[in-house]
Structure 1
Amino acid sequence: MGNKHILIILFSLWQCLFGANLVAGQTPHYRLSGFVKDSLSGESIPGAHVFIPNTQTGVVTNNYGFYSIMLPEGEHIIRFSFVGYKEKEVVISLDSNTRMDAPMVLSIELETVEVTARQSVAKSPYMGMIELPMSQITSTSSLLGERDIMKVFQLMPGVQGGSEGTGGLFVRGGGNDQNLIILDDAIVYNANHLFGFFSLFNGDAIKDVKLVKGGFPARYGGRLSSVMDITMRDGDMQNYKGEIGLGIISSRFTAEGPLKKGQTSFLLSGRRTYLDQLITPFLPEEEKMGYYFYDFNAKVNHKINDNQRLYVSGFFGDDSFYTRYSEPGEQNRNGLRWNNALVSLRMASAFPGGFFMNNTLLFSQYKTGFFYERINTREDQKYILDYYTGIRDYTLKTDMVFSPFPFHTFRLGGLGIYHHFSPGSFEITNEFANEQENKRASIHTFEGGAYIENEFQKGKWMYNAGLRLSMYHTSGRGYVSPEPRFMAGYHLSDNQSLKASYSYMNQYIHLLSNTSGALPTDLWLPVSGNLPAQSSSQISLGWHYGLKKHQLELTVESFYKTSDNVLTYRDGANFFFFDDQNPEADIEWEDNVTVGQSQAYGFEFLLHKRKGKVNGWLAYTWSKADVQFEEINQGESYPANFDRRHDFALVLNYELSQRIQFSMTWVYMTGHPITIPYHTSYSFKPWDFDAHAGLNQFVQVDYFQNRNNFQTQNYHRLDISASFSKPLKYGTRIWEIGLYNAYNRMNPFSYDMATDFVTKKRVLRKNTLFPIIPSISYVRKF
């Protein structure tokens, strides 16, 4: 670590520990704290704004709806606001530390919600942080009408998706594995269903989502590019509610209510596709295939007393793709499967004096693999190949928040994660040759982290200074690295500010995949002697402006990020060899990859209207990302896989009435780089592998020179949808209709080389996936 990093570390630590003493005045100050919650359900409201006009200060509630702020002695107006709720105003005379909870009333009409008291982005020291109301997420047009959090965030500046319809996140030039995705604090290692076309997260079960892509607070760590922090709903403590949705490919349900009124609540939510059930009757008996996924969310929220709550939540999801083929005397089965399991146990405690503590115990598991089975029914013999890989985590985590000085909020905490990796375990049973082979590889590592933050807001200045100490231990080796974080802002006026931030991050686990196919064969592995930890440094500058009259927020940011020890595959790398010519024991995963550096910079623009009859956003990104590896591309830098120069998105939601709503999304992206051969030759091959003369004794051989040497076609698409609701005697009925790719643009999904049968020349062929796709779904709320 260089001298500049050491200076930043010392400055951040000094601000955390001693900065508060420079602003503590002589006027007596007292602490005001409490919980902001829904007045009917009792559910906490994270991200609610608490604003004090006479001091021009404010705070935002944490993930548990808790706030704490130091104010001078005297009378104050306290304003509470959140999207979709009526503004709440309370006058209080403060002469001692005071606890004040704030139940908020849901607004029937969005246009009646006042926004003047809401603390805008311009008044927060944070930058590179995106928070979207769930009402906007669930109303945005999507593929086949599925509510998809990941797809919506792909429409934000600085965030790019993968190929057509897929759910990867490539944030500010980073890779898909460099995103920390957490659900109720549990790490999600694979966030996709159906090969990435749908995300794991059922929008009906989600309360709050935020994405951090720059200016990382010290409380987050472990990844280089972004953090997506998702909080599940707690469940209604007063009334029983439910929702059922029937769509083209899947159905969903949600049920919630009190186990003990006012004290304990539950939430259950699930989805399942039924493509396998629909197509099976139309397939011949000897040939069957299918695919399905399901996910299930559950949560129990228990109020021990006014100051303590216990949360138990879980997520379980599974994907399975299979084929079966039968012929006289033989049966064949093969398929792919992958699944996630998350469990979270949390105790949230508010102590006298505004001190808040959250203790969490977590379990997270991701497992993926494939299988092949061949049975000779005449001889009663079989061949079975079962391959799987995965990662399992056990985590203990503590977070604390308190405000010992006026205008300051301190956060500190730590975590420890025990990782259990299963890299490439397999079992082979070959009764035809009377052989059996198995491998149960495992790697055990420990990851730790401790942090402290000091957030300050007074007058025109604001900052968040923090320091995180990351630790990792594997194979008898230990790694320790300080990670300074700093964000600062200056108010140019009441509704606009300038901001700057610096973040240093480390990542101690790597994601590897098979380069020969787009299969869910993710291989998570720890750092080692040959593969050091990834690290990144990012600088951001921003201007934030709130247009109160039109309820708009304008954000302009630029960034520059460098990363070290990023991974890519060596040419021709493959991780799955089981035959005699390539014995698995001779294949080491470290031999298939190489490390290098990356560089990314760009400019981002966001105009956002969060509520009203017409709401939505306009997002634009200009960016450039390059990577460089000594062993690849002759050591010269080349564009990163999803380096797109321009990325534009327009999202509009229109509420015609309380019963009718419309939504449209238009996206435009320039192409991303792929690798194509520069030359094709023919090789003479008179015999096949069984020593038989082949029908075609000449095979084509493609030669590659430079990586990512071709840019794909530009991409654009229009999605539209409409929602029609009708109140019934018991609940509400909703019909949702939509068109994905409304003007039938044939966007590229992939490219391959093919032979033109007329000219006999090799040509580049574009493969498309989704034409115009209609969707319809029925929702019943009760």
Structure 2
Amino acid sequence: MSFSSLAQLAKVKGTLLDAQNRPLSNVNISFLGHTTQSNAKGFYAIKVPVNKKINLVFSHLSFKKSTVSLLLKNSEDYELNLVMNEHEEQMGEIIITKDKKSQIQGITTITPDVIKKTPGANAGIENVLKTLAGVNSNNELSTQYSVRGGNYDENLVYVNEIEVYRPFLIRSGQQEGLSFTNTDLVQNVNFSAGGFQAKYGDKLSSVLDITYRNPTQFAAAFEASFLGGSLAVDAVSKNKKWTAVTGVRYRNNSLLVNSQDTETNYTPSFVDVQTNVNYQASAKWQWSFLGNISQNKYDYEPLLRKTKFGTADKPMLLTVFYDGQEKDKYQTYFAALKTTFKASDRLIFKFIGSVYHTLEQEHFDILAQYRLGENDTTIGTETYDDVSYTSGIGTQLNHARNDLDALILNSEVKGFYDWAKSNLEFGVKYTRESIRDRIMEWEVVDSAGFSINPPIINFAQKDEPYTSFTGPLAPYQSVFATNFNTINRFSAFVQWNAKSNLENAQLWYTAGVRMQNWGVSGTNAPANSQTVFSPRAQLALKPNWEKEMIFRISGGYYYQPPFYRELRDASGAVQPNVKAQQSVQVVLGNEYSFQMWKRPFKLVSELYYKSLTDVNNYTIDNVRIRYAANNDAKAYAQGLDFRLNGEFVPGTESWFSFGYLKTEENSNNKGYIARPTDQRLKFGVLFQDYMPNIPSMKLYLNLVYNTGLPGGSPSYSDPYVYQNRLNDYRRVDIGFSKILIDAASTKVRKNWLGNFKELSIGLEIFNLFNNQNAITNTWVRDVYSKNEYAIPNYMTTRIFNVKLNAKL
């Protein structure tokens, strides 16, 4: 009888790649007469006997044979990735052993397959991130997110090691359109929610590190739905030296916007084209180009709004009649050239140059005439479902002519030197930011024929309309500024990584430091340059226990030198002497891998604390952030994150996450109050399932519950007086998919369907339970009673979407 029927087993799995990191299919993996093969994605899995040394052999006609010796324990799930070598003159195997890189660094890895299948109003990488503990967003129309008490500007995003940017002027999630990252082109996604290494840039909260794939053969993927469509093409030259992935996307948010309270004429146009080209010049030189052109046009003409609120005893209704329109346009151009030079087997250099150019305009003139009163809920009356008793009438006129032209240039050199059980990484970068910005916006509010003066101006006479006002008239809110500024930045880092043994335990440690120097010139006179140093460290320990566990501690000093938006205060003026915000972070983590129902599971727990100084206070309205630009506050953030993921259903990956967060700030020693991102509790679920009798019928569930944010007060109010919170955010998106053609199927089709490798059709239901979630409040004043009413600005309701996916 064979060992498989008598002995206890372990499992070896992994991915096989060639020297260009392309997946290898049809590689034979064998030992003692037992054989399996890698699939089209280079993945393999094979069961082996335990407590017995075996030689696992990897062989392929086009590559040199590799042999790996293993000695595994009972039920061990061992990951072994192999880079196979086709050059006979280079002796020996190139092996990437199971170094648990993501576990050591505290990184969450998300597969492209999960990203593509997870339903959401704004599907993509950010949609999946929002199900993770510590990542929060109460806006399904936006791709922006906050992490562990930070705001949207505190997150780093890299594509192929190149930092990418987003538009400056966007104030509403429905204006965003498309994020930079094209999901159709993605190969790997790594995310760190804090305590990240020195090799990453100068932000306070998180790192999203994305790698686009390098294809091995021609392929094409197509997607179409009621929200738009996309096309992605993989191309490979005959000599395999040239490869390219190119994607085109179009999105239309009309389906989502039309589900809100406001009736509109809405004609958006969100289009982008993106390509990643790779050229393997020789065994030592590799070149790549990443390019993106994006054009987001947002034409918005509101017509009528009816919002119901209040209680069952006193239902209220706000009716708003609009005149005017909004015309916004965001054009971005991005290009990056990267070359990798392998000086030796141990020394690698990378040279990266990039340019980002954005042209943005925000033009609107919108007149809103509102009527506020009690809602008649008596069926059969003439005023049913309308205002029966008016308690407030008013007019609001908003005007803006905001234009921005920003050019950002980057030039960077990075190096990597490897030797026994340790390596050294280093880099130097220069960035030049040229900003031309004009802000011209104002708001006038009139109630019952009387112009309401700004709340921030202390006029002595406040008993209108009973006493005539004789003071000066002024806009309710106004900002006028023109800024031409240039920011020059020099940054550098050095980082050392090593591995050793501590008795029977494995120990990984990383230590590094970053430096950045910057200076602002232009409007408001030049400032002296500033310099900061950011030391960081990580330590990971894997005891030699029967239970597989890894313990981590990481942290250090994290600085965020101000970007242009952080230099601009509420009046629109640039304050060039704004300091870098500073955060001292400590993150304690544990990862416990175990078997349940004979399937792999992992429980990740992290406890974190951040102490922030030189804090630049800000307010958030929808997704628009306005800074005070004064560094006059200190703050802290503390919390606990849990995530349990694994195969709850055989062959699928799902997870449940829970997060607790508390973040407060103290401005000018007035005392601690909640920050705008104080998201106390978070619960997220990403779940995949299929019908046992019909495995081609799939189900995908995306559930998020967040407690309310401190965003319920007027934007001009004193946060030390008003600390109102919005209601809890509850949302469930669900998707059903019928797989018509499965890539893993060996069935041969002789009809037209034989041209497809994959084909599926799906139904998505966004906001399944039709919860009314609010992003902000609109404050309407009754001039006679002096009351102000908070009318919630609701997000999208229940929506149905049909989606078609195909691969050639």
What TM-score do you get using the length of structure 1 for normalisation? 0.70
Which residue of structure 2 aligns with residue 397 of structure 1? 412
Which residue of structure 2 aligns with residue 362 of structure 1? 354
User: Are the aligned partners of 2:138 and 2:775 in contact in 1 as well (CA < 8 Å)?
Assistant: no
Which residue of structure 2 aligns with residue 452 of structure 1? 495
SS at match of 1:230: strand
User: Are the aligned partners of 1:501 and 1:541 in contact in 2 as well (CA < 8 Å)?
Assistant: yes
What are the Cα deviations for residues 538-592 of structure 1, in whole angstroms up to 9, with x where unaligned? 01111111114531111111000012222225999xx99xxxxxxxxxxxx9987
Post-superposition offset of 1:675: 4.6
Matches of residues 121-132 of structure 1 in structure 2 within 5 Å? 124-127=103-106, 129-132=107-110
* Identity level (%): 16
Post-superposition offset of 1:163: 3.4
User: Are the aligned partners of 1:270 and 1:297 in contact in 2 as well (CA < 8 Å)?
Assistant: yes
Which residue of structure 2 aligns with residue 736 of structure 1? 762
User: Are the aligned partners of 1:308 and 1:349 in contact in 2 as well (CA < 8 Å)?
Assistant: yes
User: Are the aligned partners of 1:173 and 1:642 in contact in 2 as well (CA < 8 Å)?
Assistant: yes
Post-superposition offset of 1:386: 5.5
User: Are the aligned partners of 1:646 and 1:669 in contact in 2 as well (CA < 8 Å)?
Assistant: yes
SS at match of 1:199: coil
SS at match of 1:477: coil
Post-superposition offset of 1:418: 1.7
Which residue of structure 1 aligns with residue 335 of structure 2? 343
Gaps of 5+ in 2: 1-16, 28-38, 54-66, 73-77, 259-263, 303-322, 367-398, 442-479, 521-525, 742-752
Which residue of structure 2 aligns with residue 585 of structure 1? none
**Aligned residue among 214, 219, 235 for 2:199:** 219
2-structure distance, mates of 1:231, 1:90: 18
Per the alignment, do residues 254 and 677 of structure 1 end up closer, same or farther by CA in structure 2, a change over 3 Å counting?
Answer: closer
Whichever residue aligns with residue 490 of structure 2, its letter is E
- 2:230 pairs with 1:255: no
SS at match of 2:123: coil
- 2:646 pairs with 1:609: yes
Whichever residue aligns with residue 678 of structure 2, its letter is D
- 2:530 pairs with 1:499: no
2-structure distance, mates of 1:48, 1:215: 33
Which residue of structure 2 aligns with residue 778 of structure 1? 804
SS at match of 1:709: coil
- 2:661 pairs with 1:623: yes
1-structure distance, mates of 2:590, 2:234: 42
- 2:155 pairs with 1:179: yes
User: Are the aligned partners of 2:713 and 2:725 in contact in 1 as well (CA < 8 Å)?
Assistant: no
Whichever residue aligns with residue 671 of structure 2, its letter is E
Per the alignment, do residues 90 and 173 of structure 1 end up closer, same or farther by CA in structure 2, a change over 3 Å counting?
Answer: closer
User: Are the aligned partners of 1:496 and 1:544 in contact in 2 as well (CA < 8 Å)?
Assistant: yes
Which residue of structure 2 aligns with residue 682 of structure 1? none
Post-superposition offset of 1:652: 0.7
User: Are the aligned partners of 2:131 and 2:703 in contact in 1 as well (CA < 8 Å)?
Assistant: no
What are the Cα deviations for residues 307-331 of structure 1, in whole angstroms up to 9, with x where unaligned? 3221111122221123689xxxxx9
Which residue of structure 2 aligns with residue 768 of structure 1? 794
- 2:307 pairs with 1:269: no
Post-superposition offset of 1:532: 1.1
SS at match of 1:644: coil
- 2:730 pairs with 1:716: yes
Which residue of structure 2 aligns with residue 290 of structure 1? 267
Which residue of structure 1 aligns with residue 427 of structure 2? 413
SS at match of 2:144: coil
Post-superposition offset of 1:230: 1.8
User: Are the aligned partners of 1:37 and 1:44 in contact in 2 as well (CA < 8 Å)?
Assistant: no
SS at match of 2:150: coil
User: Are the aligned partners of 1:356 and 1:401 in contact in 2 as well (CA < 8 Å)?
Assistant: yes
User: Are the aligned partners of 1:139 and 1:653 in contact in 2 as well (CA < 8 Å)?
Assistant: no
Post-superposition offset of 1:131: 1.4
2-structure distance, mates of 1:456, 1:741: 47
Which residue of structure 1 aligns with residue 11 of structure 2? none
2-structure distance, mates of 1:756, 1:555: 51
1-structure distance, mates of 2:554, 2:567: 37
Which residue of structure 2 aligns with residue 544 of structure 1? 591
Whichever residue aligns with residue 296 of structure 2, its letter is D
- 2:22 pairs with 1:37: yes
SS at match of 2:495: strand
Per the alignment, do residues 302 and 756 of structure 1 end up closer, same or farther by CA in structure 2, a change over 3 Å counting?
Answer: same
SS at match of 1:711: coil
Structure 1 window deviating more from structure 2 (750-759 vs 392-401): it is 750-759
Post-superposition offset of 1:457: 4.2
Matches of residues 137-152 of structure 1 in structure 2 within 5 Å? 137-143=115-121, 147-152=123-128
Which residue of structure 2 aligns with residue 229 of structure 1? 209
With a CA cutoff of 8 Å and minimum separation of 6, indicate the structure with the bigger relative contact order.
Answer: 1
Whichever residue aligns with residue 229 of structure 2, its letter is S
User: Are the aligned partners of 2:760 and 2:804 in contact in 1 as well (CA < 8 Å)?
Assistant: yes
1-structure distance, mates of 2:636, 2:324: 48
User: Are the aligned partners of 1:339 and 1:367 in contact in 2 as well (CA < 8 Å)?
Assistant: yes
Gaps of 5+ in 1: 1-31, 57-73, 80-84, 104-116, 281-286, 326-330, 375-383, 428-436, 577-588, 679-701
Post-superposition offset of 1:47: 13
Post-superposition offset of 1:648: 0.5
What are the Cα deviations for residues 715-741 of structure 1, in whole angstroms up to 9, with x where unaligned? 222221112222321013221211111
1-structure distance, mates of 2:722, 2:633: 16
Per the alignment, do residues 101 and 278 of structure 1 end up closer, same or farther by CA in structure 2, a change over 3 Å counting?
Answer: same
SS at match of 1:194: helix
**Aligned residue among 508, 512, 517 for 1:466:** 512
Whichever residue aligns with residue 740 of structure 2, its letter is K
1-structure distance, mates of 2:431, 2:799: 44
1-structure distance, mates of 2:485, 2:18: 47
Post-superposition offset of 1:241: 1.3
Post-superposition offset of 1:162: 3.9
Q: Count the aligned residue pairs.
A: 629
SS at match of 1:617: strand
Which residue of structure 2 aligns with residue 241 of structure 1? 219
Per the alignment, do residues 751 and 497 of structure 1 end up closer, same or farther by CA in structure 2, a change over 3 Å counting?
Answer: same
User: Are the aligned partners of 2:24 and 2:41 in contact in 1 as well (CA < 8 Å)?
Assistant: no
2-structure distance, mates of 1:78, 1:38: 26
- 2:308 pairs with 1:316: no
- 2:433 pairs with 1:423: no
Structure 1 window deviating more from structure 2 (268-277 vs 345-354): it is 268-277
User: Are the aligned partners of 2:438 and 2:481 in contact in 1 as well (CA < 8 Å)?
Assistant: no
Per the alignment, do residues 550 and 777 of structure 1 end up closer, same or farther by CA in structure 2, a change over 3 Å counting?
Answer: same
Which residue of structure 2 aligns with residue 61 of structure 1? none
**Aligned residue among 131, 135, 142 for 2:113:** 135
1-structure distance, mates of 2:723, 2:581: 26
What are the Cα deviations for residues 235-294 of structure 1, in whole angstroms up to 9, with x where unaligned? x243x21122111121111112113441111211011135689999xxxxxx97522111
User: Are the aligned partners of 1:214 and 1:503 in contact in 2 as well (CA < 8 Å)?
Assistant: no
Matches of residues 608-687 of structure 1 in structure 2 within 5 Å? 608-609=645-646, 612-630=650-668, 635-656=670-691, 659-676=696-713
Per the alignment, do residues 251 and 516 of structure 1 end up closer, same or farther by CA in structure 2, a change over 3 Å counting?
Answer: farther
Per the alignment, do residues 670 and 568 of structure 1 end up closer, same or farther by CA in structure 2, a change over 3 Å counting?
Answer: same
Post-superposition offset of 1:711: 2.0
SS at match of 1:157: coil
Whichever residue aligns with residue 39 of structure 1, its letter is L
Per the alignment, do residues 733 and 491 of structure 1 end up closer, same or farther by CA in structure 2, a change over 3 Å counting?
Answer: closer
Post-superposition offset of 1:126: 1.3
User: Are the aligned partners of 1:186 and 1:342 in contact in 2 as well (CA < 8 Å)?
Assistant: no
Per the alignment, do residues 372 and 717 of structure 1 end up closer, same or farther by CA in structure 2, a change over 3 Å counting?
Answer: closer
What are the Cα deviations for residues 447-466 of structure 1, in whole angstroms up to 9, with x where unaligned? 32232222324343221111
